[in-house]
Structure 1
Amino acid sequence: MRSLPARRIAAVALTAAASVVALAGPAFAHVTVNPGSAPQGGYTAVDIRVPNENDAASTVKLELSLPLDHPLASVRTLPMPGWTATVEKSKLDKPIKVHGNDVNEAVSKITWTAEAGTKIAPGQFQEFRVSLGPLPTDTDKLTFKALQSYDNGDVVRWIDEAKDGQPEPAKPAPVLALTKATSADGHGATASAAPAADGHTHDDGAKDEAAGSDKATDSTARVLGVVGIVVGVIGAAFGVLGLRRKSGGSAS
């Protein structure tokens, strides 16, 4: 008679644990900017990392909108086999000064479209490399809104902006954090270099390594957090089972 409740409690615990893991999974699958930070005022090269979240369809297009409230005078894409990159520019309401010259337009959108036979299949991800600069000095972040299109017609809108003190939105927009620039001469000049011909800056390796370490640490923390919740759910379930057994034994 006692085995049936035990089985039910175990089933409930396992169902709850599976739900927690399922809910935690998407947190690892956002469209992101990597590395996630760069010094203000300089040039950098970043990867727009696009994971496929759909188990039954493939990603075939990415549209990335660049902020015009903090325009970037130089935006270049790294050629990628199997993908066509289209760059759109918009006229600025107010010109910006770059190296003493007025810039009246800036890139407002980049669209990567998969050619025949190319796709980001289920369980895969792709990185689209872009060089940017000079980065603004009057903000601490740049937000890039993205639309991810699948071959079944679905479109995922990565456009929600996170707000301080509130939970992360379900579909957050990719963000590049901007840090205060430092230099050995103490004048606050940026230490980052202009992008080379291949789209990489000279210090990209160190940045990517640091970013990879940060990502690994963050992922590990999330996994451990999920495991802790699962263990807690199962422990609570068996605690209830123990109390029932004890109560049943006292009654006899």
Structure 2
Amino acid sequence: MPTQLFDLKGRVALVTGASRGIGEATARLLAEQGAHVVLASRKQADLDKVAAEIVAAGGKATAIAAHQGDSAALGKLVAEIDRQFGRLDILVNNAATNPHFGHITDTGMDMVDKTLQVNIKGYFELSSLAARLMQRGGRGAIVNIASINGIRPGPMQGIYSITKAAVINMTKAFAKECAPWGVRVNAVLPGLTETKFASALTSNDEMLKHFMPSIPLGRVAQPSEIAPAVLFLVSDGASYVTGSSLVVDGGFLT
């Protein structure tokens, strides 16, 4: 068994939603462990900033703008990775959307369509493209960032919770069918985390009063506390782990 279980030197990792929050923290950590990280999100300028900081710290990073909800953009993204590197070892599906915060019956169909497109179809399509590229190399690791809402729906987050439940089952389906290729597929289920994405909750004192008593550790997570779970699952330390969902929630679901 290798002694450097978390060493990612020589590996190419794609992280979506990498310009901020959990995606950014994950990209930085994977780069620290030696991976050449391809950062993707909608805005090139935001990605360039993170990539430059990773390189300045001694890491390797490439920024490629691509919208998780745009099929053509995802195809071009994976094709460009293939062109530049000829391989892909790690995919972290992190980019997501939650356009509706309110009663589930008030969710407009346009919001339903957008959430399904990004959170389910985008994950599915990118996982399919990535797994095929990983198959050529005989190994790979995919991690889907789901949510504890996929197990216990969050208040006022109906359609988002539904998509995250789908991501958990998608993870199991891909894990079973891609295992013969040497491709492992797992999910990380964060609890309440201090990000711009979750600001509707973390900046709302009434919501925090509701949630805090249910979190045994008594606080909101930082993105840097979610990233190590991803590192474990993409590393050789998790070589016999596939189809699993790793909950990182401060004990909320306990």
Q: Does 1 or 2 have the higher relative contact order (CA < 8 Å, sep 6+)?
A: 1
TM-score by length of 2: 0.29
Q: Decide which structure has greater helix share.
A: 2
Q: Decide which structure has greater strand share.
A: 1
